[in-house]
């Protein structure tokens, strides 16, 4: 469990990770409860024969991701005061910021549930940058939680590790692609830091917001540069194009590998 005590200026200090939290974010006690409940659930779930059947064959990652999301959100909805984002008609929003929102002391907090296959790297999407920034700047949220269930398979024996973190504490391990507009996690570096128990740097919420804006600005610059490069390439190709020579042949269509 996390060791805490009251810090200066009304902040709660997590002395294990040495992070600062203001009074509106999920309490450390609540975070421990969520992480422990999820870990206990998956410690039992992976022992079931039905799980072994799902975790076989091709496209394992997609099947496990769907299973983890469904089962974990179901668990949280039963064990905690949970909510789902809805539109004015009362229907669930298909692309909510969080798979589920956990209510605590009158405030709801978005939680994004993610499955990870051990040793898988990559840069999975986390959340829309502009949607996240807008919610922060409009004082609608003050955190963005990631609940990871990391599945390992060693000699047909499954194990699960659970990590529950505020993504805003780990901006050093995310990147941003302005094309799709998504914040993406640098998975390999992120999990390596967690396993080494590397404590993230203490930052005020204003510093975290500034960090997101820096990521946004860098992504926009790269997007502009890449689009200029793409446009230049096509303009060069167009300058060499001659419509009088435009004749479609079986040879020119061979690249499609049509069957």
* 27 pLDDT higher than 80: yes
Question: How many CB atoms are located within 10 Å of the residue 122 CB?
Answer: 12
Give me the phi and psi of 234, to 5 degrees please. -70, -35
- Whole-model pTM: value is 0.79
Are 216 and 129 within 8 A, CB to CB? yes
Tell me what pLDDT residue 61 has.
67
Are 215 and 176 within 8 A, CB to CB? yes
CA distance 236 to 238: 5
174-177 β-sheet, strand order: 125-128, 182-185, 174-177
CA 11 centroid distance within chain: 26
Residue among 9, 68, 62 nearest 204 (CA): 9
CA distances from 120 to 38, 96, 135, 187 (A): 21, 26, 31, 8
User: Into which CATH architecture does domain 25-218 fall?
Assistant: 3-Layer(aba) Sandwich (3.40)
- Pairing relationship of beta strands 107-117 and 145-154 according to DSSP bridges: parallel
Mean pLDDT over 136-154 rounds to 91
Tell me what pLDDT residue 88 has.
87
Query: What are the pLDDT digits (tens) for 41-87?
Result: 999 999 888 887 877 766 666 778 888 889 999 999 999 999 999 88
């Amino acid at each position: 469990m996390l060791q805490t005590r009251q810090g200066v200026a009304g902040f709660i200090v997590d002395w294990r990770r040495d992070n600062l939290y203001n009074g509106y974010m999920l309490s450390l006690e609540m975070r421990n409860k969520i992480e422990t409940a999820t870990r206990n659930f998956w410690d039992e779930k992976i022992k079931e024969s039905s799980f072994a059947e799902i975790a076989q064959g091709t496209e394992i990652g997609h099947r496990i991701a769907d299973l983890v999301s469904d089962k974990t959100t179901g668990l949280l909805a039963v064990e905690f005061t949970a909510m789902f984002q809805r539109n004015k008609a009362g229907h669930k929003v298909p692309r909510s910021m969080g798979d589920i929102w956990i209510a605590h002391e009158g405030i709801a907090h978005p939680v994004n549930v993610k499955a990870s296959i051990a040793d898988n790297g990559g840069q999975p999407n986390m959340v829309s940058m502009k949607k996240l920034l807008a919610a922060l700047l409009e004082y609608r949220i003050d955190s963005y939680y990631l609940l990871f269930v990391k599945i390992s398979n060693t000699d047909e024996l499954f194990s699960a590790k659970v990590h529950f973190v505020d993504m805003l504490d780990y901006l050093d391990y995310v990147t941003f692609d302005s094309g799709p507009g998504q914040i993406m996690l640098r998975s390999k570096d992120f999990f390596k830091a967690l396993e080494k128990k590397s404590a993230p740097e203490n930052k005020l919420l204003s510093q975290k917001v500034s960090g997101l804006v820096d990521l946004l600005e860098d992504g926009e610059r790269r997007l502009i540069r890449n689009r200029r490069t793409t446009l230049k390439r096509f303009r060069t190709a167009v300058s060499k194009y001659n419509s009088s020579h435009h004749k479609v042949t079986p040879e020119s269509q061979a690249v499609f590998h049509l069957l």
